[in-house]
Structure 1
Amino acid sequence: MTTASPYSSLLDRIPVTKQQISIGGSSAAYWEYGTPSDRPTIVMVHGFRGDHHGLEPVVAHLPGFHIISPDLPGFGESEPLRLSRHDLDGYAGWLKRFVDALNLDSKPIILGHSFGSIVVSAALARTGLSTDRLILVNPIAAPALSGPRGILTRLAVIYYQLGAVLPEPIGFGLLRNRIIVRVMSETMAKTKKRALRKWIHSEHDRYFSAFSDRDVVLEAFRASVSNDVSEFAESIDARTLLIAADRDDITPVSAQHTLAALFPDATLEILPDVGHLIHYEVPERAATLIEEFLTPDPRSTSGVDLDEAPL
């Protein structure tokens, strides 16, 4: 039985259309929320094993923005990559081609959550993808194996390896096992609100196993634990907003401060009493920070900083 979203009434007010586009011979599904306006478009990239649904609570709290949210290749309704493996270079290159194919009138804002934070950072540093503003939610600031629960990450490595080597029906079943998915969900959720926890578990039950095959999920998992945003931060000159959490089991707060210092121009916001599911548990707080970050400085006129304007 599906649990109703606590954010559905807000999301229902925003027009949404599903689109399909071919990228490198693979069909990519994406969802367009709102309509183009004077504000720049936001392209959102979800995390590992998720799809666009995961970021909809944040979308729901950003009315008036034009937002495009794709399913990454091999997840949700997007087909696997045909031109490369599902490693970081493969995903970064795909994102560059995807944004190019949108033919937007101006450079979009780029937002990435969790594994998506690594994908967008790699795309900006390596592929020529360009943005003036970058937003990373629950950024992977350091290697996952060194996080507060590194032992759980090591167990996950064994889990995905077993899923790959066992006979296909057994391995596929293991990777989609509902009990294991629930354990992952229980570990990540920090809220004590029973109704919200129930909905989060329902979302993971519905969408956490929506991957095309076990090769895709294994390759993507390896990319998610073998890379982190700190590898690319110094090469990214866009103004950057990092939205992190004080109870994130994957990246400690200390690593987030270290990461913020690597960017040429970054602001770090630490949200209290939440973990790796900012987008589910406190999307309204994240959306407020995003809107403030994207609101023009009232001291500026037509993009000219009055402090630097000639007298």
Structure 2
Amino acid sequence: MDLSERFEWEGRRIAWGRAGSGPAVVFCHGTPFSSALWKPFADALSRDFTVYLWDMPGYGQSSKHEGHPVDFGTQAEAFAALMAHWQLDRPHVIAHDFGGAVSLRAHLFGRLNYSSLMLVDVVAIPPSGSPFFQFVHDNPELLGQLPAYIHEAIVRSYISNASHQGLRDDTLDELAEPWTGEVGQPAFYRQIAEYDEQFLHENEKRLDNLTIPVRVVWGTQDSWIPPEIAHRLHALITESTLALVPDAGHLIHYDEPAALMDEIRAWLDIQRVN
């Protein structure tokens, strides 16, 4: 499944793709990733669902213009505009990392309607951010001037650290590539610099307003966002259920893909019955 389509929004170019037929399922990625980590799952589901992938502005194949904000609020607005472009009402949404905060904000503040929401190792409530993330947040301009080979080594090491079992070289290449070169390198530090935890505090205050079915899925070995956050998030969302996946880190997609696919398929099947 390729992101062959483009949507123009407020000077940004959003890359997206669609495949299959049936009920709509929309995937949201996080940082420092792209829709690439959802592609195998979207491909598998396209037999029974219409699946949508997109790269947030500032990520993956979407535009990375300096001066275009990439914070949670902006991404939620972009998501709402894209949903309107797709003419979708009440799709199933599956989100990872800060795609969780974006999809939650679009629903809680932008009033986007979902049939269900699956939150996979998400950035959703405070606190968040690894020590490296916090260091970059405090020193974005300094790190943006690093020699390209040092920057690439840092990005590859950072992404690798999100996996508990380790990543294949080709997988790491695919995830790191958007953050290299004259456009990718400054974009990597810029999106971290614009991170604002206030959006998470605002989301947290409204979680008890959620009335849609929510499934929280978490890797037990997630060192970026520990399972304690999953338990807190589950407790804050009345209409939620929780699943912990053994031997999986933050990149559960690569650590335990079969277990994650089972979770997704079972969840969507339950929603179809209900």
TM range (shorter): 0.7 to 0.9
Q: Whose Rg is larger? A: 1
Q: Residue type matched to 1:110 in 2?
A: V
Bigger RCO of structures 1 and 2 (CA < 8 A, at least 6 apart): 1
Q: Is the 8 A contact 1:20 1:27 kept in 2?
A: yes
- The one-letter code of the counterpart of 2:91 is P
- Does the aligned pair in 2 maintain the 1:249–1:275 contact within 8 Å? yes
Residue 185 (structure 1) aligns with? 159
1:103 is aligned, of 64, 87, 95, to 87
**AA paired with 1:71?**
D
Could you say what secondary structure the match of 1:138 adopts? strand
Offset, 1:221: 1.6
> Which range moves more in the overlay, 86-95 or 133-142?
133-142
TM-align CA RMSD: 2.9
SS at match of 2:45: coil
Structure-2 separation of matches of 1:151 and 1:261: 26
Q: Deviations over 1:51-72 (max 9, x none)?
A: 2212113224424221111111
Q: Under a length normalisation based on structure 2, what TM-score does the superposition of the two structures give?
A: 0.84
CA 171–137 in structure 1, closer or farther in 2 if over 3 Å, else same: same
Task: Give the unaligned 5+ runs of structure 1.
Answer: 1-14, 165-169, 304-311
Which residue of 143, 150, 175 maps to 1:204? 175
Moved more, 90-99 or 69-78: 69-78
For residue 231 of structure 1, report the CA deviation from its aligned partner: 5.0
Q: Is contact 1:185–1:200 with CA below 8 Å preserved after alignment?
A: no
> In the aligned structure 1, how far is the partner of 2:94 from the partner of 2:154?
29
2:132 paired residue among 152, 156, 159: 152
Preserved contact between residue 7 and residue 14 of structure 2 (Cα < 8 Å): yes
- Aligned residue pairs total 269
Q: Percent identity?
A: 20
1:70 aligns with 2:41: no
Give the drift of 1:215: 6.4
Matched residue, 2:76? 92
- Asked if the contact 1:79–1:212 (Cα under 8 Å) also holds between the matched residues in 2, the reply is no
1:184-237 C-alpha deviation (Å, 9 max, x unpaired): 133222116xxx533432233334448946665445324546254645522332
Give distance in 1, aligned partners of 2:248 and 2:121.
10
**With structure 1 as the length reference, what TM-score do the two structures score?**
0.75
Deviations 1:32-69 (A, max 9, x none): 122x22xx211111111322212113224424221111
> How much has 1:99 moved relative to structure 2?
0.4
Q: Identify which range, 280-289 or 107-116, moves more after superposition.
A: 280-289
Partner of 1:280: 254
Q: Indicate if the aligned counterparts of 1:62 and 1:287 stay in contact, CA closer than 8 A.
A: no
Aligned partner of residue 203 in structure 1, secondary structure = helix
Shift of 1:163: 3.1
Asked if structure 2 preserves the Cα contact closer than 8 Å seen for 1:24 and 1:81, the reply is: no
Q: Distance in 2 between matches of 1:214 and 1:99?
A: 29
In structure 2, runs of 5+ residues without a counterpart are none
Match of 2:235 in 1: 261
1:293 maps to what in 2?
267
Cα 1:241–1:210 shift into 2, 3 Å: farther
Alpha-carbon separation, structure 2, partners of 1:50 and 1:295: 27
Once the two structures are superposed, what CA deviation does each residue of 1:144-188 show, in whole Å capped at 9, x if it has no partner?
24xxxx433333334534235xxxxx35848x8221022213322
Q: CA separation in 1, counterparts of 2:224 and 2:210? A: 23
User: Following TM superposition, by how much is the alpha carbon of 1:96 offset from its aligned partner in structure 2, in angstroms?
Assistant: 0.6
